[in-house]
Structure 1
């Protein structure tokens, strides 16, 4: 029996236990960098299954399985929840006020946990590392911390999955190249000589200046950046003034800038600074650009993605679908700056009722997706084990 089949068999035998782990995690969510109970719970389960987890400073942990090796295949799961009030009505809904697993990280975590426990009962000829990462939902996220702590030392390739409530259970969304986008936050603060709205010629009108930014800056970017890169700037806040007949002396606008092209992302900051200067120059206001770079796009390696697709088809010949490129950000991208790998979309829609969305308080994940995820990763270990030499040459 190959590794994938052994992992699937373990999952069948431990199904109720694994679902219990997931429901415990779901009902006890923790915010980014605060995943202390989650870390303790995961360490306890791993130890009870004969594993020796390594805890990172603060929160998060990893565990190595199989032979000691300088060549490992890694899997990453994110653990943190969102600052939302859950409205699912589930029997195991969040017991923590104002915190909810509305992005499916509890599912990612329990899939990785089950995989680690299952693989520890299998005879492996390659080393495996399972990484439980804190703080994916914030900037700066936990990925860069774990990399600095040595999470990728000896790792040759890394994989992850993310639940997709637009995709039916049993389907696995695969995409080579960019599957997510870079996501930066920009804030532009403006100051000018305030005044009476009856005499705008005697003031530097910051409201007018902010309006120019909101309208002109996205348009100018669309003429300076290749449209095939999927680059988009969207402002989410604009604030200035209190009275309709007074020109305020300060204001601020902020938004997100996203792109699917890593080269464009690396050149974006000076371009934005140049265009902001040009837009505001005629208005007479002074400005400050605060540019907060987020994460690069997740760039799925071609060979790693082909292995992932092969593993999905090994679970179900009809499983693989083409995943769309998302404008969302995901800090799994930082791992792929160091080693090749791939992230897949894991269908979690039951097939009945309306399709939901991530980051919504009523998100309900069909728990059958957990078994699919565990089997997918188990099959991937088998695929990698049989093709690792070719992969390493790549």
Structure 2
């Protein structure tokens, strides 16, 4: 067993306590500030971590619990079946004392927690992250970082104010093929970029169904959280990657936020636009537009779901060649030799991260900027959200990336934020 007995939080906030005359023999697990580290984790400390949202997406991230730098303290989910799965996983990894809870507040308000890993549906990302940062915790939050532009702005301010290390789960930045593709573009090997194609796929429209009984123990009201109250049926909350809650605008940005948060992010990186964004979003079907398109101020066009992807996820087209990239390490270029050509020392080398979660852990220790912080996550998220606004309104959206404001369309500008249900206001 990797830790000694863990008593209730109200009894003991640290692992390793005196009980009567007996001293627990477990290693002492304390928050970094107790060690004189000013609230930050040092190189010889373990990171006390909470895992929030233990559904299907957490399955690809929960392995970090077995990292020697990590001490799991909590697993959290509003669905009992998800919570049991996560607790069983922790037991299998020899962490039988991890606390299961349905309330994320138990995790973010516990002063012994150093960091949280958030894998909830998109509409909960910002609120949980903001409270965690306010309480001095570091945050890994799944992509897209937020559901609205206003939430993204709040996240950027909070990261700066509280000094938290925030990593957004756009893990393609930590992939060699995507980084090399971005470096080929950034170093001008294929000339001036004219167009970029991104394959996002498409969701079917959600189908509203009659109300079904809420499963026993499932806190459905809290699952909805800030979203409007709607009747429960299983497909509304289903985590299925090709459907379920991802099809509903109330909880996500459909494919714009699903695959767009990955591919738009790489496009931003490759074009050197991490701190700005496009200026025009044109929805599919507007005045005969065949594909959703967004445009940067220099005329570069990004086209969603273009049919000529040549078997890849992203295709950069330049005046002197092109580069195509996909998951699975697929990288192809014209001229062919560019894909395998090494960078010269004098050329631009982008941030190198071989593992997205490990990069976050390393930065928690060093307090250096992770590969995908809130500024980057917010700018990518803004593209996802503006594309969705244009799609839903059926008209072009003009955007000022400096002022972060929709232009010349007051009705559309109201969509930069969304109303939140009473009791689920965005934390300050």
**TM interval, short-chain normalised:** under 0.3
TM-score by length of 2: 0.26
Structure with larger Rg: 1
Quick one: higher RCO (CA 8 Å, sep 6+), 1 or 2? 1
TM-score by length of 1: 0.27
Q: Which has the higher strand share?
A: 1
